[in-house]
Structures are given as C-alpha cells and as structure tokens.
Structure 1
Amino acid sequence: MDLDVLEHPLDEMVLYRSKNESNFAVRSATPADDEQLMKLSAETVPSNGITLSYERYPSYLAASQAQYNRPDLKVVVPIDNPSFVVAMMNLGWRYCYINGQADLMRYVADLRMHPEYRGGKVMRLLMDYVFDEIPQNTIFESVVLNANVVAANILHQERKGFPLPYYFDDIQTYTVSQAKKPKTFAHYRFKSLTQDAITAANGFILKMKDHYNFLPTYDFNGLLEGHHPFWKGMSLSDFFLIYNKDDQLVGLYGLWNQKSFKQTRVIDYSRPLKLMKPFYNVYANVRGVLSLPKVKGTFDYLMMHSPLCHPEDLEVFSSLIFHAKEQTKHRGKETYCVTLAENDPRIRWMKNTTSHILKAKHYFHSFSGNPYGKFDRKRISYFDVGRI
C-alpha cells in the first residue's frame, strides 16, 4: 500500500513551507479554489482615469487554459486554514518558438494578494517557493502595464532572494476604433480559414518563426476539436488567410471574442471622467469609437489573434488592420485590440488608426544571470493580446 497516497490523497494539497514564514504555506490550486480565484484575479487596476477589473468568469481555471498550454497556479494559504486562499501566482508553461526552435517558456501572470494579507511575508514565501522548487536555470517572462505600479514594484525591482528582473522591450496595445483603408487593399484576397487550409496556415506559422520570437507553436488543428481549451471561444470562421495577386499566402489573423470567459469591468471613473463621460459617449457614437460603459459595466471588444505577416510588409499589414476593422463592425462590435512590440516595423502603420493605447513593459526574470544572450534580438517579440 502506498503510504504517501494515504498521507496526501490529493497531490495538490501538499503544502510547501519556508523557514522564513511560519504562518503560511504554498500549494497548487484545486477546482475547489475556483470561486476564490475569480475574486482574487478581479483585482482592480488604475488606467488613465479608469479603475478596471480584469475578470475571469465563470471559471478562472478554465480561462487560464486559454492563456497557457500548461497552467501552473500556486496559491498561498494559512497553515491553520489551508482551504482559504490569500494570494495566487500563475507560473504556467507556454509552447513557443525561441530563436526559430520549438521551446518552453514559463510566464508569470495573475500575481494577486488579498488586500488584508498584502505584504513582504507572503511575497517572500512565493519567491522562496520559486527558489526551492523550480530549477535555478529557469527563465521567467512577464508583461506588466506601465500604469500597474503595484505589480511593477513587485516584479520589476531587484529584491534579495528573488529572481533578478531584466527589462527586454516595450509593447503597446491598441484598441482600434477606426482604420484607414490602404490604397493597396484591393491587391489582396481574404479567405476564411477552412479545414482544407489548416495545413497552409500551420506552414505559414513555421515561416513566421524566423521573424518573431516567443511566437506560440500554433496548430490550427486544435480548432477542429471544438472545445480545445487553448482555443477557447474560437472557431475556424474566426480566422482569415490573406493572399496576394500571385495567390501566395502572405498573412493571417483571427478575431477572438473572449466575453464568455474574460471581461474588463469598470469599477470607477475619476471625477473629471465622470463629468466628461456623457459628452464623450455622444462623440463616440458619432465617430464609431469605443464608448465608456456605466460603472460596473463591461467593455465590449474583440481581441486580435495571430496578426502575422512579414514584419517589413506594411502593405499586407495595413490591409490586415483595415479588414479586421470591417469584420469587427460586421460582428456588431465597436473595436478590437492588437498588441505590438515597439521595435516591430509594422507599428509605424498604427498612426493611421484611431486607437486608445496602453503601454507595458516586457521583462525576463532569472536566478542565473542576464538571459539576453539566449534570445536573438534581431527577432521581434510577439504577443497575442488575448493571452497576455
């Protein structure tokens, strides 16, 4: 008989304890934690006069499978009440191309703490766990909004016993309301992704890995399963292939409606915005730009998935951006979001859009010294806005 199984009927309930903290422990999350995780993950974040909450409803655990190939969620619990979650941190794996080769990257996200338990002890415990339980040569990746000062202070400052942070590049997320129609738009043909074109789409991804680092190892066959967790909320008809006059595949993108499992809710507006909001919404309705919802209401937009083409081909990219705006309107939405690294040449075209811009910083974290040498800086950092 396996005595270890008797002692720990659920491996997830095994507690990690540190000599630096006697009152709390770390364990893996379980389905029983889901309601608490949804509340913690909905932590408010200030952004340009709006206090936002990024919700994962009706299940945080299900939503995290669209963010990671293999989620690895750790929670902090009191020793005397291990079912009560006071903090969380996701350290899941992503399958991606690094320097053109299929590899793994651990992505740090959703670091949340219960307001009554915020402080150095809980954070130190999580970092002790990382130091003791994860191989020292692991490189972690993170993206933090510039406006999220709390998270930046935790993750992007050097702290004793923590993996050192290494700034890599800046990224910008555009919420696109209007897009200029390029003169060369008629040169391209857009076709909905169908089962018989999946091989071509997968082949195009293999070409793009030569230009973009951290590009997920997309396999569009997952869309055929209908309920594949990594493609949650998406179907073949959400994707478009772009062909040039010579019938060559030169680009692709998708539009992702995440409303069924991920929402951005307005908790409050600054006083100036409250006064201006009624007038702004009249303007927004006339211009067709993103309107401001009521307090406690949610924004209604689409996420752009895999906006890919050769990084120097602005004609294809500009047509992609315009076509996406047309499709967004066709689907009854006002706007869509797309994320680009600041060194992506295609970002130059975004001045031809009407967009709200959020800036963020992309970091790596390591116990083993500066990791820059492991990444080809000539390749452009790639981000799917729906998986950040």
Structure 2
Amino acid sequence: MNYRIRQAREEDNGAILSLLQGTPQPGAVTLNFERNPDYFRGARVTCEEPDVWVAEPREGEGPIGAVYNVGWRHVWVNGQARPVRYAHDLRISPQCRNGMILHRLFRQLRKQLGDGEWMQTTVLRDNMASLSTVASGRAGLPTYYPSGTIETSMLYTRARRRKLPDDAVIRQTGEADLDAISQLLRYQGSQKQFFPYWDVSRVRGDAYCYGLSPRNFIGLWIGGVLKGLMGFWDQQGIKQTRVLGYARGMGVMRHLYNTHSLLRGGMKLPAPGGVLSYLTLHSLVVEDNRPELLRLLLDDAISRFHGHYDALVCGFFTQDPLARVPASYRRRLLLSDHFLVSYDGDPRDQLDGRLPYVEVARL
C-alpha cells in the first residue's frame, strides 16, 4: 500500500490510539504504552508545541500506518533556555514495517529540521527493534549520537519512619510557594543540561501542565529556606502502561509475586488488560545537587503515597550523583539510551560539561 505523510489533525485521535494499542513492547511481560483517551492531550504535555505527523493510505480508506512527534519544549542548554525538539512516539504498524514507510517518514523529518538543528530522543534498552532500525545509522536516516544512559526507577512505596534534621521541614506546597519554587527551579535547573525551562504559573491550568496544581510539589525547607523540591504527577489521564500478557509460567508467578509485594511493598502485577499503579515524580532539584537532601524528599514521598500507589517513578542519568539515591531503595530498574539526533554533524561538541537531566514525566 502506498502512503503519504501529512501533519496530524485532531480528528486522527481515534486512529492514532488504535495504532498505539497495536504496537506493544514484547518481553516476559508484554507492555503497551498508551495515551488514552486523547493522544493530543498527552502530546501537549510532552511538548509545549507538538509537531505530530502520520502516514495514511494515498487511495481509499485504511488505518494510519505510522505516527511520530518531534515537537519542541524549552530546556536549559549550556545555561541558556532554548527550544529543543524531542523525537518520540514513533510507532509503525506491523503491516508496514517491511516497506519504505520508515524512509518516507525520515525524508519528511529532514524537511522539518532547520540547518544544524538537532533533537533529543530516548530508546528503551530492551527495544531492540528501534535500536536496530532508526538508531542503526542506515543511509537516509539521521545519525543518532549516543549521549548518556538513563536509569528510570520504579521505587516501591511503603510505610517508613523518617527523622528530619531539627531545622528542616518537609511539606506539600501551595499557591504562596510558587515564587520560591520558580527561583529554585531556574537557578538549580540552569546548572544542568536539558532541564525543563517553564513558568511555574502554568500549573494553574495550562495544557503543558495538565493535571497539575500549585499543590503538586513537596518542598524541603532548611532554616526557613527552600533547599529541595520534588513534583508529583498522576498521569493516568494522559498515559497508561498496560499489561497485555505474561510469558508462559508468569501467570502463576504473578500471584506469588503480588503476595510478596503486599507483604514487603512492591509493584503489583495486574491481570492481563490492567494498568500499572505508579505516580511520576518531576522537577527534582536540591541545592548543590546534594544526594542527602534528595534522600529526605524520597523518604517522605515513599511513605506519603504508600497505599495510594504501588511505586514512584523517577529518572537520572547514570553520571549524576543523585542517581545513587534511588539505587538504595527497593525498586524496578529500566535502562534507556539517550541520543542527540542530527543530519548535520555531531551536536555533542556544542555542549559544555554540565550534568544532563531527564524529566521522565515528559518522555
């Protein structure tokens, strides 16, 4: 079948959701990363300005064969805020994977990118299909320059006692804290590569912050000064991780595993068709990147949200000293490869030595 590549429209929502549902991630547990009920609602959270394209049959009716998004969001690069594209949600129907559709998608992408423009993208380490195709360096495709490994942790919630220093306070934030939050995010965020740059007043109802409010942060005050921050985001209304099935033998093991999780804390595995229960953390900053301050915040959150969610999701690049903190908790670990994508040479030479940051809530 012959396809044409065009910009997506709102009326494509149902067809895009159907495509996403038909392209699961295989493994011992078959997962599907979904965007129900509105793909475009989630696209506006991942990117401030989505740039979504689809492949549709040139003649007659038929399902969409592919979709991708290369929208922009503002991030800190070398201490300056600038718009950078994030390439994601590339899904190709199984019926189209042996044809020319991938090359047509990337020919269109070449037209969209400006001279010298580069993008970010991440690929799950277990996603061998993507690593062997789009990141393979084939002729006609952009070059994927490896730029770090991301550890995404699903930290199991549980009741735990915590002791704070005498001059420390941890509490949920509110409207009156937005100025202090903004100052901390801008100063600490500018010290890292790719940290999101955004106006925190957007939590009052902006599409980029769908589901957030001024109360969706936990702050750490020491001596009355805000020293650490951790946002929390229930994103079930924009994306879901659905379990489609288990490998042979996993059905029985699931019940044993869930019993163990009930006793010790852990991610409970739902029956096929169910979704995983987790809360996504975002905007994780602490003064001077001090791991002991992050530990205080995570201790609070793991206890605070126990009984409401099975796990908290956060992510760090492996070279970030803060990555040592989630490694000390009971967790499920996922590895991803981070790339800078370009048709016009290696963009890594443009970056200074700042530590990179990943906002897993916007992947």
Question: Given the two structures, how large is their TM-score scaled by the length of structure 2?
Answer: 0.94
In 1: Cα distance, 2:360 partner to 2:164 partner: 27
Residue 203 (structure 1) aligns with: 183
Change in CA separation of 1:238 and 1:308 when aligned onto 2, cut-off 3 Å: same
Q: Which amino acid aligns with 1:130?
A: L
Farther-moved stretch of structure 1 (50-59 vs 308-317)? 308-317
Residue 358 (structure 2) aligns with: 383
8 Å contact 2:68–2:90 — kept in the other structure? yes
1:85 aligns to 2:60 (yes or no): no
1:330-383 deviation per Cα after TM superposition (whole angstroms, max 9, x unaligned): 6x222110011101101112232000000000001111111111112x222211
Give the secondary structure class of the aligned counterpart of 1:38.
Answer: helix
Residue 277 (structure 2) aligns with: 300
In 1: Cα distance, 2:356 partner to 2:134 partner: 20
1:260-281 deviation per Cα after TM superposition (whole angstroms, max 9, x unaligned): 2211100111113223111111
8 Å contact 2:157–2:306 — kept in the other structure? no
Q: Which amino acid aligns with 1:177?
A: Y
1:329 aligns to 2:306 (yes or no): yes
Q: Which amino acid aligns with 1:151?
A: S
How far has the Cα of 1:181 moved from its partner? 6.1
8 Å contact 1:46–1:147 — kept in the other structure? no
Change in CA separation of 1:266 and 1:197 when aligned onto 2, cut-off 3 Å: same
Q: 1:313 aligns with which of 269, 272, 290?
A: 290
Change in CA separation of 1:343 and 1:185 when aligned onto 2, cut-off 3 Å: farther
In 1: Cα distance, 2:181 partner to 2:310 partner: 28
Which runs of 5 or more structure 2 residues have no equivalent in the other structure? none
Residue 124 (structure 2) aligns with: 145
Give the secondary structure class of the aligned counterpart of 2:100.
Answer: helix
Residue 215 (structure 1) aligns with: 195
- 1:1-388 aligned at under 5 Å gives the runs 23-42=2-21, 43-47=23-27, 49-81=28-60, 84-178=63-157, 184=164, 187-224=167-204, 226=205, 228-244=206-222, 246-310=223-287, 312-329=289-306, 332-376=308-352, 378-388=353-363
Farther-moved stretch of structure 1 (344-353 vs 60-69)? 344-353
1:38-67 deviation per Cα after TM superposition (whole angstroms, max 9, x unaligned): 1222320135x1110011111101111111
In 2: Cα distance, 1:198 partner to 1:83 partner: 48
1:177-232 deviation per Cα after TM superposition (whole angstroms, max 9, x unaligned): 157766656552123222222111111111113321111112210112x3x11111
Q: Which amino acid aligns with 2:188?
A: M
In 1: Cα distance, 2:256 partner to 2:359 partner: 33
How far has the Cα of 1:168 moved from its partner? 0.4
Structure label with greater radius of gyration: 1
Residue 8 (structure 1) aligns with: none
Q: Which amino acid aligns with 2:176?
A: D
How far has the Cα of 1:160 moved from its partner? 0.8
Q: Which amino acid aligns with 1:329?
A: H
Give the secondary structure class of the aligned counterpart of 2:25.
Answer: strand
8 Å contact 1:96–1:104 — kept in the other structure? yes
Residue 16 (structure 1) aligns with: none
Change in CA separation of 1:189 and 1:280 when aligned onto 2, cut-off 3 Å: same
1:233-252 deviation per Cα after TM superposition (whole angstroms, max 9, x unaligned): 112212122111x2221111
Q: Which amino acid aligns with 2:177?
A: A
8 Å contact 1:341–1:381 — kept in the other structure? yes
1:264-319 deviation per Cα after TM superposition (whole angstroms, max 9, x unaligned): 10011111322311111111111121111001111111000111113541221100
Among all aligned residue pairs of Structure 1 and Structure 2, give the percentage whose two residues are the same amino acid: 26
Residue 12 (structure 1) aligns with: none
Q: CA RMSD in A?
A: 1.9
Give the secondary structure class of the aligned counterpart of 1:329.
Answer: coil
Figure out how many residues of one structure are paired with residues of the other and give that number. 361
In 2: Cα distance, 1:187 partner to 1:83 partner: 64
8 Å contact 1:27–1:75 — kept in the other structure? yes
